[in-house]
Structures are given as C-alpha cells and as structure tokens.
Homo-oligomer: A and B are copies of this chain.
Amino acid sequence: MRKEEADRILALLKSEGKRLTAKRALVYQVIQESESHLPAEEIYLRAKALNPNISLSTVYRTLNILKDLGLVRELHLDEEHHHYELVEGSAHYHMICSQCGKIEEFKSELVDKLAEELEKKYGFETKSIHIDFVGLCADCRNKT
C-alpha cells in the first residue's frame, strides 16, 4: 500500500476511534490488488495465504468497517453472497454471463443521463447506482 493511501485510511479510522492494524491493511490490500470484486470467502483465502492467522470474522468485521468508511463497496449481484470492491474515482457496472459466469465491467455516459432523467422526473437524488446486465458474453455466443 502506498504511504499516502495508508495515511488516508489511518486518518479515516482514527476519526472513528479505530486502529489501523496489519490485518485490516491486509484485507484492504487484497481487495485493492484484485482486478475486480471478490466475495468475502475469497478475500479471506487470499489474506490467509499472506497471513495464516487471520480469521473469517476479522475479514467480515474489516469489510464492514471499510464499507462504513466509504472505502469499499458491497455488491449484491445475482448470487447468494456479496462481493466487495474498492470505491474508486470512476463508477462502473457489470455484465454477467449466465453461461460461463464471467463478470465484466463497463462504463457509459448513458448512466449519467439516466440519473439526470430521474432527478428531473421524480426529484430523486442519486447517491449510488447498481446496474447488472445478465446475458451471454461474446465468447459464449460464439460457441453456440
């Protein structure tokens, strides 16, 4: 983790009377280093590979803290468990292949237009947006 990143997290944690421990930093690092969203179990396994002493409870507790601090986002995709990813500058959404299970990300300015439309039409003030397109990815379409 970069120094300024650690400092930012440390400041956020301190503002809530919490501490930055090695295990918390590890959970954050695992999420950060993954290319996309991970389920809690997978975060646990990857963290455990780096520090065998970490427990699943700690992973969950840390995820909730990071979520509350606004550093990590919890995704409710079409599955029974949640996925977690870093909250970063630019928002993105998901294309989920119902055949192979692959999840790809996309961005589109149409989404911002949609938010504007909801503001105008319903007076709704958007804070966050979840979009999942479920269907067939290009690979699976070609196979059939």
Stoichiometry (number of copies): 2
Main secondary structure of the interface of A (DSSP, over half): mixed
- Contact (Cβ within 8 A) B133 A126: yes
Segment at the B interface, from A23-31, A33-41, A55-63, A114-122: A114-122
Contact of A117 among B110, B125, B128, B130 (CB under 8 A): B110
Residues of A within 8 A of B (CB-CB), count: 35
Is the beta-carbon distance between B138 and A134 smaller than 8 angstroms?
no
Is there an interface contact between A137 and B124, defined as CB atoms closer than 8 Å?
yes
Q: For residue A108, which residues in chain B have a CB less than 8 angstroms away from its CB? A: 114, 117
* Option from B113, B122, B130, B135 in Cβ contact (under 8 Å) with A104: B122
Cβ distance A74 to chain B, nearest Cβ, rounded Å: 8
Shortest CB–CB separation between residue A21 and chain B, in angstroms? 27
Inter-subunit contact B128/A135 (CB<8 Å): yes
